Amino acid sequence: MGKLNKLRGRSLEEIRVRGGQKLTAYGEKLGLTGQLPSDADFLRLIDEEPFGGTEPSADDLLENFGTWRNAQFFPAFFDKELTVQAYKLYFGERPAQQIIRRAEAIVTGKIPLLGYEGLDFGVPIDWHLEPIAQKRSPLKHWKEFDEL
């Protein structure tokens, strides 16, 4: 009855939206939504023409990454020197040094997050660790966490 009381004063639109969110969350928990394709299914989605008409392998994709001149999804990869020059012109030297320092810290498992500097997530990074309280989240669906 307590859950029904929460509906009091809510608009029909809010109830519809929240109901949809609940259905989506439970569908995700049951594995009915948002599933990623398997590696084989993903490779079948890729146009075979650039690979001589045969289905590419992961190694083929890696080998050819960034080599297609008509694909401008990552234009910064095509001219590294021009990209570095433009970055330095726009941002200067200091931000680049800060990025390098942060990247080096992240490699050692220390990540700046939510105003905290150098939270230690370990090496390799333990994405289930809450580093301030040193608690690990159990391996379960996010919908099963009451504290969230």
Are 121 and 113 contacting, i.e. CB atoms less than 8 angstroms apart?
Answer: no
Instruction: Please say whether the dihedral angle defined by the alpha carbons of residues 48, 52, 53 and 57, taken in this order, is positive or negative.
Output: negative
pLDDT(5) > 80: no
Q: Give the mean model confidence (pLDDT) for residues 19-41.
A: 81
pLDDT(126) > 70: yes
3-state secondary structure of 106: helix
Q: Which of 5-14, 25-34, 93-102, 124-133 has the highest mean pLDDT?
A: 124-133
Query: Does the global pTM surpass 0.75?
Result: no
Rounded CA-CA distance 58/141 in Å is 29
Of 8-17, 50-59, 73-82, 126-135, the least confident: 73-82
Report domain extents, the chain.
Answer: 1-35, 37-77
